[in-house]
Amino acid sequence: MTQRNVKIFGADGKAVSELSLPPVFTAVLRRDIIAKAVVAQQSHRFQPQGRNPMAGKRTTAESFGVGRGISRVPRIGGHGPLSGTAAFAPGTMGGRMAFPPVTFKRTAKSMNRKERRVALDSAIAATGSQDLVRGRGHRFDEDIELPLVVTDEVEKFAKSSAAKNFLAAIGVWGDIDRVKKSKRIRGKNRTHSVGPLLVVGEYQGAQRAFENFEGVDIVRVKDLSVEALAPGTHPGRLAIWTESAIKTLSDRSWLR
């Protein structure tokens, strides 16, 4: 298997050297396993729900019995304005639920280690495909070669102005504009599209520089997850890799 070389760009957007990509970027695309891994990861964030055991049962309603030409659902007795109103039973106003959610239901999905590694490798390889990245809607310059690798200088950015100049220099600022135009109010929350992902070797302050750009996420290479690389189970997120992050990918000992 021949190794593929890519250019390493500096903070000014100019190529400074070349780097051999690790074999993980030649992994086969497995959309099914990626989707399974993302759903399994999301399931661990679900909060167990339950209902009060007496919900819908705090009533004196009893069935009137047979012989009246009406259904035998529990009804409120007496001579008040609600007399004869059906209650308590499922399907009645304010009645109990037939099958309420329970807290002991298992909502977390499990996935074995080999499948999780295959999903991660596949998601990493998808970031190097022009067709997949553009298919997700990301916008970047036509002459950009993926995967996009930059120097470790980016990890030490401390100001948003430097981060903005960097994103414009490497040709991905169009994706930031796309995220800005996608902002919507959904319910009481503000939502927007997913932007670029910056993968660093170690956290050295770049989080502060990029946190003001909506849609941009920063993750340490050893903390990579399938959901970060394939949001919504769709592989091909626009990823910016630092040189140290690419070198860490060559050593698979950190994988859990």
Which uninterrupted H or E stretch holds 83?
none
On whether residue 61 sits in a domain, the answer given is no
Q: How far apart are CA 142 and CA 253, in angstroms?
A: 35
pTM for this prediction: 0.85
Write the pLDDT tens digit of every residue in 173-194. 999 999 999 999 888 888 999 9
On whether residue 197 sits in a domain, the answer given is yes
Written as one letter, the residue type at 203 is Y
Residue 250: its pLDDT value, please? 83
- For the segment 229-233, the average pLDDT, to the nearest whole number, is 96
Structural domain total, the chain: 1
Question: In this structure, which long-range contacts are made by residues 177-186, counting pairs with CB atoms below 8 Å and at least 24 apart in sequence?
Answer: 177/139, 178/137, 178/138, 178/139, 179/213, 179/214, 179/215, 179/216, 180/214, 183/214
On whether residue 93 sits in a domain, the answer given is no
On whether residue 92 sits in a domain, the answer given is no
The 3-state DSSP class for residue 184 equals: strand
Two tokens, residue 218: 């920063």
On whether residue 150 sits in a domain, the answer given is yes
Residue 190: its pLDDT value, please? 86
Q: Partners of 9 in the beta sheet?
A: 15, 150
CATH number, domain at 38?
3.40.1370.10
Q: Partners of 190 in the beta sheet?
A: 185
On whether residue 66 sits in a domain, the answer given is no
Two tokens, residue 242: 């630092």
Write the pLDDT tens digit of every residue in 236-252. 999 999 999 999 998 77
2 has pLDDT over 90: no
Written as one letter, the residue type at 160 is S
On whether residue 58 sits in a domain, the answer given is no
On whether residue 35 sits in a domain, the answer given is yes
Write the pLDDT tens digit of every residue in 148-180. 999 999 999 999 999 999 999 999 999 999 999
Residue 213 domain boundaries: 5-45+110-254
